[in-house]
Chains A and B, each alone.
Chain A
């Protein structure tokens, strides 16, 4: 039963519990205690289970041995390990470190709350026969109570003798071993040999928590994850789970998951947090505890959209993995590296979401084998950067659980325990420093300790500092870097890094490295630009501001040059341009800077406006193609933006009075006609729409009026066109349009027949504007006429819509019999819709009106 007690907890043998109980209590106490150290627990005791009697006997014998030598213990701890080896080998008890779960009854439970305060939970004492059997052996401990003498002989004497002889043998062999170990590696770690093959494993793997209770960190987070996994129980296992706490609040009002498969509301769990805190471990453990088989996709796999189809979907749909009866739970690790922001249509995330949230389309119908089936298994995604661009879509659908850095006390304790197991001498100051340096990254700590151990050092602070030199800086998003640029280092961090006052003032190297490591220098620069003017507002003569701007503009010039000349070697110098902000603007105790958004807003506005310019240019171009290239010179960017857009807006918004168009004054009529002409030519329209208040408005399309709107205000010299005016203009435009649409048809049809010419002549005389051939009244007539005006003159049309005027009239005159033939299509034509006439595959059948209601 392992590596027994610790230097850190020397008092464990002398805890009050063993004073008033029989001595074997102290033995089991030790076991329980060693449990705390090896099992890396925060809450203890849940996993303790009764051991079968046969094992227990062996177990207790070991305890005897442990207990046997407490006097010697202290510094010679490793001996015990050696001592135990033969037992561990020969008996059913597996290696101590590998399975700390074998146990005996424990009489008190040690737990630690999140603040690192130890709590002792006492348990009712249970006496076992095996326990009393030890008394003879444990008498050496010198704890005398009347009880135990009566059970002195319960352990057969031969067994005791056996033990003694084994002990002797082991002591001898240990002496040899020690000599060998000393020759091998400075005898710094006599325990190493004991582990044999295990040496190959990384400490990270070796001390990975195996059970839920072993997990380190915020229990609430762990429980939340567990609760979510449990919510799937009904869906996956088809059983209603018991009154597990923490689940109820997530449910629908009737206390159930409202889904038709009784799934939780969010089908994906997104774990996020800095590396090394145990996100992956938690996911795996939670899955295993809840009875799932884990199916993992991580960065080592390709993460294209295809993976979802090829691997994930089959795995989830088949429900359980091959060769196991457990249902599958998918763990997608490092999902923030996956492809598929919103721009990739086939992105991984998108596919994943569609897999999760697409409902099978028609339920009642026969199942289409290709149609997506509902997701019936949980998916856990893990990421470091919750705000990675690729996760944008996922964030809104997933339940998000954030990991935060656990209290340093826990980390230090766990590390110390591991050090002791590994036989690594460690100062606690050094360990604290280590945890601080790693910023809570337990994995990093363990790797570093292993490194130190491999070098054969003791763990002291200087050693830690040296080893940490190459250690990864925590995750440096560009916002943190931005904050570092505008604020001096936090005192705590300074302490962690062990910097002296003088070293702290040397910022250039530190900051330039940070800036460089973000890989988003442009963003940092934008952030600097956005925030610098908020600080040092008392700057009377702008000297700081001037300097800041000098830095920024040199930065921009350098990077511009770098990109155009493709001289990427210059990138090395870029960070220094931004470091210049530190001495200018650093200040302690300022609120944390948020992600700057002005640049983005500006970008969005600009692209929207560019789009409008582009559509205006398109309109101009298409107008040019209809008007012999008239507008084409106005399309070039500069001209369009600086001259055309503002003045065109003025040209198309004359101050008209909203009156009925029949009573419009002649000069206004001319303006209106011209306005309509221009708008039709440029394909500008007034579209009927509702604004935010629900009022009816006419909206200009394309909305080129944004170009006379600055700061949300329209230019003052342009008359605000009223709804009625726009309505008037819009109807005019519509009429004009339908006129121009019919015009070419009519022209083609009539081939300048007298019919058309005379009409134009007529209108010319009636209309005021003498050269406005296409002005409003004409348009009206031309449109209105064929339908109603004079049916006598109506032209007969043959099947293809061609006029058969001369011929028909000729035949009509010649042969009266054929007149009817002419008449008939004519009447028919009056009834039918000519527009869109043509073949139709539709089947005609009488149907009642009620069928449409």
Chain B
């Protein structure tokens, strides 16, 4: 038994609900016999992986759905052992190199060479090549990306690579130029409502307009999130017609609390309180960039127009710093203090002018 996200995941290109043009193009590519390396990119929850799976199905037929998941051990030159989870069928292999952090180059090199140097043995296979899917390609290190470059050209006859990333900005140009770039945009509101409805129908209930609308709005183009919310709601209360509050993830609620604290009071004591909350968030492994972004968004909602630009500007600055540095909490707090100081200055100035 699976969650609805998976249970009602489209399996073929025909089943896909939206981006019909893209589906047609993918079908054509799969049929052409000249399948290129591909790079799927787009926001989280837009359906990249679903489309990749559908494309594979189109390429290889049902056999591509017979998956087996196992772990492989790689050795770094320094004799460190790395465990990598691998999903594979007879026709393709799926890896997430970012699991091993800085050692992803080793994994990429060894795995690709392995695959590239063996030919497809199954004579009944529709295609001569195997496909390698690399998830979270945008978190590949530079070294790993460089390791991809030559392999992509050299072993073209045996292997195709499909990269899946949120944005192309952190991929090096040589990789991008070797791939066919496919952007999978987030579905718009109507498309999402439609998907929610169809899921509801398959599960044997109707999704009321209000709920469907609320969920879509909250999910902000993330269909996976929308479906998870729908299932959570359905589990929490069988009757969806009642007015329901859309469940927000807890870290988000917590971030909003922090934002409120920043706006309410600006004092050294508050800095310490906020710090404790930030620690709590970080210790729940919420990525610091997400924390910063969520808090900033919520702070901006509550402050004066003239401050918004400044606050966002500094959020961006500190996010960059955070990516360079190691101690995320330093930068988060630096931003908090900055915002507090800006806010205080703002009010201070207002007060003074009113005295004039």
Contacts and interface: CB of A to CB of B under 8 A. Distances in A.
Contact of B238 (A536, A652, A653, A671): A671
Given A542-B266, A654-B235, A677-B1, A638 B287 contact: yes
Interface in A529-562: 529, 533-534, 536-537, 539-543, 545-546, 549-550, 552-553, 555-557, 559-561
Nearest to A654: B235
Contact of B3 (A537, A651, A710): A651
Contacts of A537: 267-269
B256 to A, nearest CB: 12
Interface in B257-305: 266-269, 271-272, 275, 277, 279-287, 290
Contacts of B2: 623, 627, 630-631, 681
Interface in B88-105: 94, 96, 98
Interface stretch (A362-370, A477-485, A604-612): A604-612
Contacts of B136: 636
A717 B337 contact: no
B65 A629 contact: yes
Contact of B326 (A542, A563, A634): A563
Interface string B304-325: 0000000000000010010011
A299 to B, nearest CB: 28
Contacts of A653: 235
A11 to B, nearest CB: 61
B285 A613 contact: yes
Contacts of A542: 266, 337, 340-341, 344
B348 interface: yes
Nearest to A535: B268
B77 interface: no
A532 to B, nearest CB: 9
Contacts of A556: 321, 324-327, 330-331
Contacts of A546: 337-338, 341
Interface stretch (A109-117, A281-289, A448-456, A641-649): A641-649
B286 A641 contact: yes
A681 B7 CA distance: 13
Interface in A711-756: 711, 715, 717-719
B156 interface: no
B285 A641 contact: yes
In this complex, the member of A526, A541, A549 whose beta carbon has the largest number of chain B beta carbons within 10 angstroms is A549
Contacts of A630: 2-3, 6-7, 9
A541 B341 contact: yes
B155 interface: no
B54 interface: no
A550 to B, nearest CB: 7
A420 B251 CA distance: 74
A560 B85 contact: no
A645 B345 CA distance: 40
Contact of A650 (B98, B235, B267, B280): B235
Interface stretch (B12-20, B23-31, B124-132, B222-230): B222-230
B236 interface: yes
Contact of B235 (A629, A645, A651, A717): A651
Interface in B47-80: 49, 65-70
Interface residues of A, number: 84
Contact of A533 (B3, B237, B253, B268): B268
A559 B284 CA distance: 25
Given A556-B321, A646-B249, A609 B285 contact: yes
Contacts of A529: 327, 329-330, 333
A505 B263 CA distance: 39
In this complex, the member of A555, A557, A623 whose beta carbon has the largest number of chain B beta carbons within 10 angstroms is A557
Given A529-B333, A710-B254, A715-B250, A560 B326 contact: yes
B87 interface: yes
A808 interface: no
Contacts of A610: 285
B247 interface: yes
A606 B45 CA distance: 26
Nearest to B254: A710
A778 B184 CA distance: 43
Contact of A606 (B228, B275, B285, B330): B285
A556 to B, nearest CB: 3
A711 B337 CA distance: 22
B87 A553 contact: no
A639 to B, nearest CB: 7
A667 interface: yes
B231 interface: yes
A557 B325 CA distance: 4
A606 B44 contact: no
B49 to A, nearest CB: 5
Nearest to A627: B2
B236 A710 contact: no
Contacts of A651: 3, 228, 231-232, 235
Nearest to B233: A650
Interface in A572-609: 598, 601-602, 605-606, 609
A642 B249 contact: yes
B182 interface: no
A249 interface: no
A234 interface: no
In this complex, the member of B44, B235, B238, B253 whose beta carbon has the largest number of chain A beta carbons within 10 angstroms is B235
B322 to A, nearest CB: 9
A655 B249 CA distance: 18
A678 interface: yes
B334 interface: yes
Contact of A710 (B245, B280, B337): B280
A533 B249 contact: no
Contacts of A601: 279
B216 interface: no
Contacts of B287: 638, 641-642
B82 interface: no
A613 B284 CA distance: 9
B334 A552 contact: yes
B249 A628 contact: no
Contact of A647 (B231, B254, B321): B231
B152 interface: no
A537 to B, nearest CB: 4
Contacts of A644: 228
A609 B231 contact: no
B324 A549 contact: no
B145 interface: no
B247 A717 contact: yes
A602 B282 contact: yes
Contact of B236 (A633, A635, A650): A650
Interface in B177-234: 222, 224-225, 228-229, 231-232
Contacts of B344: 540-542
Given A632-B67, A643-B222, A710-B284, 18 more contacts: A529-B330, A540-B344, A550-B334, A553-B321, A553-B330, A556-B324, A609-B284, A610-B285, A625-B68, A625-B70, A628-B65, A631-B3, A634-B5, A643-B224, A647-B232, A651-B235, A680-B1, A710-B280
Interface of B: 1-3, 5-7, 9, 44-45, 49, 65-70, 85, 87, 94, 96, 98, 135-136, 222, 224-225, 228-229, 231-232, 235-238, 245, 247, 249-251, 253-254, 266-269, 271-272, 275, 277, 279-287, 290, 318, 321, 324-327, 329-331, 333-334, 337-338, 340-341, 344-345, 348
19 contacts: A526-B327, A529-B329, A534-B272, A541-B345, A545-B268, A549-B338, A553-B321, A557-B321, A605-B283, A621-B85, A625-B69, A629-B69, A631-B3, A633-B224, A636-B135, A638-B287, A639-B224, A655-B237, A674-B235
Interface of A: 522, 525-526, 529, 533-534, 536-537, 539-543, 545-546, 549-550, 552-553, 555-557, 559-561, 563, 598, 601-602, 605-606, 609-610, 613, 621-625, 627-639, 641-648, 650-655, 667, 671, 674-675, 677-678, 680-681, 706-711, 715, 717-719
